Amino acid sequence: MMTKQAEIKLIDTLWIVLICLTLFSAWMAERAEPGFISIVIMAAVLAIKGRIIVDHFMELKHANKFIRTLMRAYFYVIPALIIIVYLYPDQIARWTSLS
């Protein structure tokens, strides 16, 4: 069981973590060379940010399993799609063509 102070401290810390991750993304947008490594890092940053909000801001970490699983899955699937779309653009373009 967390004390009230510990809860506040955790939330405050997570907010700072989210801010730092965002500034890091902005730096990547401006400076980093586009490539596989930066795509993986961006996908990981999104996964971490999403998980923090789902688990701690929405307080799903210890809540209803069905809702928690759906919400957490979102932040596995979208980051995974970012990487897959980067790796296999031509194949996906073929699968999504009408002709």
Partner 1 sequence: MNQATLPNPGQHFSFTTHSKNIPGNLAIWAAILSEMSEFAVMFIVYFIARVHNPELFFEGPTRLNTLAGTANTLIMLSSSFFVVRSVMAVRDDQLKAATRWLWGAVACGILYLIIKYLEYRWNAAQGLETETNIFYGVYYYVTFNHFLHVGWGTAGLVWVIYRINSGFYTKTEHEGLVNMALYWHMIDLAWITIFPLLYVIR
Interface pick for partner 1 out of 36, 37, 63, 76 (rule CB under 8 A): 63
Site for partner 1 contains 80 (CB under 8 A): no
Rg (C-alpha) for the chain, rounded Å, is: 17
Minimum CB separation of residue 45 from partner 1 in Å reads 7
Site for partner 1 contains 25 (CB under 8 A): yes
First to last CA, the chain: 59
HSE, side-chain direction, 13 A CA sphere, residue 58: 17
Give the count of beta carbons closer than 10 Å to the beta carbon of residue 61: 11
Q: How far apart are CA 84 and CA 12, in angstroms?
A: 34
| Interacting residue ranges for partner 1, rule: CB under 8 A | 1-4, 7-8, 11-12, 15, 18-19, 22-23, 25-26, 28-30, 34, 39, 42, 45-46, 49-50, 53-54, 56-60, 62-67, 70-71, 74, 78, 81-82, 85-86, 89-90, 92-93, 96-97
